Each structure stands twice: as structure tokens, then as C-alpha cells.
Amino acid sequence: MLFNSYEFILFFLPITLIVFIFLSRINTEKAIGWLVLASLFFYGWWNPDYLLLIIGSMGVNYFIGTLINRTLQEKGRAKLILIIGIILNLSLLGYFKYANFFLESAAYALSSNFELHHIILPLAISFFTFQQIAFLVDAYKGITKEYKFLHYALFVTFFPQLIAGPIVHHKEMLPQFMDRANMRFKLSNITIGLAIFSIGLFKKAVLADGIAVYASPVFALSDAGEQLQFFQAWGGALAYTLQLYFDFSGYSDMAIGGARLFGIKLPLNFHSPYKSLNIVEFWRRWHITLSRFLRDYIYIALGGNRKGRLQRYINLFVTMLLGGLWHGAGWTFVIWGALHGTYLIINHFWHFIAKALKLTFLETSKLWRGFSWALTFTAVVVGWVFFRASHFDSAVGMLQAMAGLNGVSLPYGIAAALGGFSSYLQTAGFEFVHGGGAKFVLTYLWILALLPIALIMPNTQQIMSRFSPSFNDIEDNAKTTLLPQNPAYRRFKFQFNVRWAITLALTLTFGMLALAQVSEFLYFQF
């Protein structure tokens, strides 16, 4: 079931909330049990067969976690149980998500034509697998304990974060579930939750889906082997860059807003990443909970920065390589992860050089900040080309066109609008072609409309900051963002007044009216 669907908004969410409020006044355990049942129904809406997988996974991990807690006095035995638990989880994920990928790669390498049985990827398996691995590791460290399967089931299946995150920790969620104050009906939680949900719906249904129609056709042409032109390729790449931004940002808002209706705060997962001045800051703002998981359970486990600079760089690269593979079973995702691993190495090495040569004063230069943002943003866009392309040759073709290797052309309609300036463009090597003028204009109008929203406007976290919308509020660092918070942001602070009521009513209305067709969130495929 999609957040951005009439079934969810008009039926599932209000019915689930009303019954929850009623049961919470009678018995907390019954309210929790209702949320578990509702969440399983939400998950099984796509395919009831998936329910057997997630219930089985929960049962096994709950049992393993219990064994770990009972054997903590025997570290060797507890560690063995932990390793078995991790192997079981990764084996399950590996079979469903990566078996086809590795078999196809092996068949290609061996020039074999043996037929492969396609394995359907269960919904959200990457998210609930990582979440449960984190639970087992935290149990081994003595951080978390779980005594009731019902509570554990809600931790795993809580529907606002089940399908595409955020990846939550047991220690973050269970205290909230067990706090009777959270289970009581509060009008403020309903209002705040609806406000955040409405903003997220608008981002997804109006902005992300609105610009998607200018991204998908360009990548489809590249996938088919068509030779693209400079502006065509950049238009498609930038359109996808903004589509993914508002799609994931919208989902994150809807997840946080949906959880807040039930009095629960989820961790912040998205915080204006395109404002970042370097790739390190980008990863502190993009998919924050995944970055946290990769840091805590892979990067630090590999040694982090404790074994010298070279080993640190190797650890960074391996971590991002695995992060890329987590996003998808394909070589384009591996390359995307490798690219970001390389970016991080260059970024850390530059900080080392800048500190050694006493160049840190550049951080205060507006010109340098502008250059740093442009370099970071361009690097991210290049990475998204591999992330979106269906195969390696398609991504390379897009990048060749973006580099101008296929020439630069404009529609004749644009040339007519430019008047005499078009002759100068022709002498500079521009070509003019028939057709495509309207699509060209609309593509770049959407880009020019949405890019400033991502770069200048306050995000949902900042708009709702007076009400602590997420579990982990994050403040902007003025040294690492393009435009730090300014006094004008105060005008966008949410308040309980008529102006905001009208604004959010219109936002929700436009979002609902835009739900003309099924449009999955991009991160659902991971």
C-alpha cells in the first residue's frame, strides 16, 4: 500500500488511528497489538506471501536476540550466536536480492547461456534486515533487551517506517512504545502529524511526480542506445536529481508525519543534502539513518580511522561500495558506491592537505563556498546518472552527452526566441534542430522552479522545528552548507493559526488531486 494513495489516506490511516486511540484508552498492549496487525496488513497489501517471510524473519531474530541476552555472561558463546544471526539475515537478503545478480554476472563471465529462475524481491527486505541486524548487535553490546515478542514485532513492522525507512534502533523506539503518555490522544500530535504528512504528500505527488516525466524519457532513450545532446542529457540528469530529492524527502516527511499521529517520533532521515559544500556533509544529510548504520556497523567494524590514514581510506571505500550494493543488485549501483567512496577519500585527503597548508581560511570565502557547492553538486549528479541508468553503457552514454562529446544543439524555436544572439551561438558550434522546443522549455522551467526550493527554502524539519518533529533534531552547520539558516526562515515557522491552516489545507488538497495514477516511491525498489 502506498502512502500516496486514496486507499491509504482515506481508509487505512484514519481507521488505524481511530481504533488505536480507542484501544489506547483501554489497554496499552491491545493498542500495540492493533498497530502490529495493521502494519502486517499494510505490508501484505502488495503480496500476502510476503507476510510469511517477514513474520518468520521476526520470529528467528527475536529468538536469537533472546539467546544473546541470556548468554551475555559468556562472551564467546554470545558472539557465536550473534555471528550465526548475522549470517542468517545476510543469507536471506543475499538470496532474494543478490542471487540473480551474481548468477547473471557469472553466466556473462563464463559465456554461459543457462536459464535463470527470476527471484522476486520481497518488499522492504533491505530495511527490515538491516534493522534486525542492528538489534542483534545492540543486544550483544548489552544496549537493548526485549522481553515481549509483540513489542519486537511493532519495532520491526511499524508501518510508517516499514517500507523505506528510516532504519531505526530498538533503543529509540521501544521506550516510546512503552510510554503511556504517547498512547494518549493528543490533538497537537494529530495536527503536527497531518502538517508534516501534507507537506510530504505535496513534495511527492506534485513536485517529484511532476518533474519525473522529464527525466524518465531521457534515460529511456539512453538505455535504448540513442545518442543524446548536451542540453537533453543535462535536462534529464537534473530532472532525475530533483525527482529523487523530492521523492525521498516527501517519503521521509510522510513517514515522520504518519508516526507522529500515533505519538511516535522517528529519526530524521533527510536534511537538505543539496545545500552541502562537501560530500562528507552530503552523507550526513542524505539517508541519515543508512549512513549511521554503515558507519556504526561496517566502517567502525573495519577499524574506522584507528589504523592510519591509508586504512581509513580503504575502509571508507569498502563501506560505500557495500552501501552501493545495498541500494541495488547491479553493477551500476556498485559503480555508484565506488564513486562516492572515491569522493569521500578525496574529500578527507583535501581536508588533510588544507589543514597542513593552512588553507582553512578559504571556508569563509563566498567564492570558495560557491565553488565547493558547485563541485559537490556536480559530483552528486554524475553519481545519480549511474544510480538511475539501467546498465553501464547507458550511464556512459549520458555522461558523454553531458560532457558535450555529442555536440550541443537547441530547438529552432529557442533560436527564434534568442533573435540575433542565435548567430553567435552557431559560430560557437551550436546546432539548431527541428522539434522539441516545448519539452526543452518545460524541462528547464521545472528545474529552475525546483532547484531553488532545494537550495534556498527551509526544509520540513526547519519549518516544524518548534515542535521537535523528529527523534534527532539536527542543526545546520554554517561552515558546510550553501545557505545557513537566516532570520527570514522565521516567516516559515509553523504555528497553530488560520494562515497555516489554510496553507496546509491547500497543500493537502493539491497533493490529493495529483494522485491520478499509481506512483511508487523510488526507494521502494531497495
For residue 410, the cross-strand partners are 432
Which helix (H) or strand (E) segment holds residue 433: the answer is strand 430-433
Q: Maximum distance among all alpha carbons in the chain?
A: 82
CA distance 48 to 38: 13
C-alpha cell recorded at residue 79? 558472539
- Type of residue found at 1: M
C-alpha cell at 159: 508501518
Question: For residues 136 and 295, is the Cβ–Cβ distance under 8 A?
Answer: no
Report DSSP letters for 197-257, one per residue. Answer: HHHHHHIIIIIIHHHHTTTHHHHHHHHTTPPPPHHHHHHHHHHHHHHHHHHHHHHHHHHHH
**Is 327 noted as a catalytic residue in this protein?**
yes
Lookup: cell for 300: 567502525
Angle between helices 49-70 and 75-93 (to 10 degrees): 170
Question: Could you give the CA distance from residue 404 to residue 192 in angstroms, rounded to a whole number?
Answer: 48
What's the rounded Cα separation, in Å, for the pair 97 and 160? 23
Beta carbons of 181 and 262 less than 8 angstroms apart: no
Enumerate residues 6+ apart whose C-beta is below 8 A from 155: 131, 135, 146, 168, 170, 173, 174, 177
d(CA 114, CA 106): 10
Q: Which helix (H) or strand (E) holds 502?
A: helix 498-513
Q: What secondary structure letter does DSSP report for 362?
A: G
Q: Which three cell numbers stand for residue 315?
A: 575502509
Q: Phi first, then psi: what are they for 520, rounded to 5°? A: -70, 155
Whole-number Cα distances in Å, 314 to 215, 259, 345, 348, 356: 34, 38, 8, 12, 22
- Which residue is catalytic, options 151, 327, 340, 348? 327
CB 89 within 8 A of CB 164: no
Tell me which H or E stretch contains 408.
strand 408-411
Catalytic residues: 327
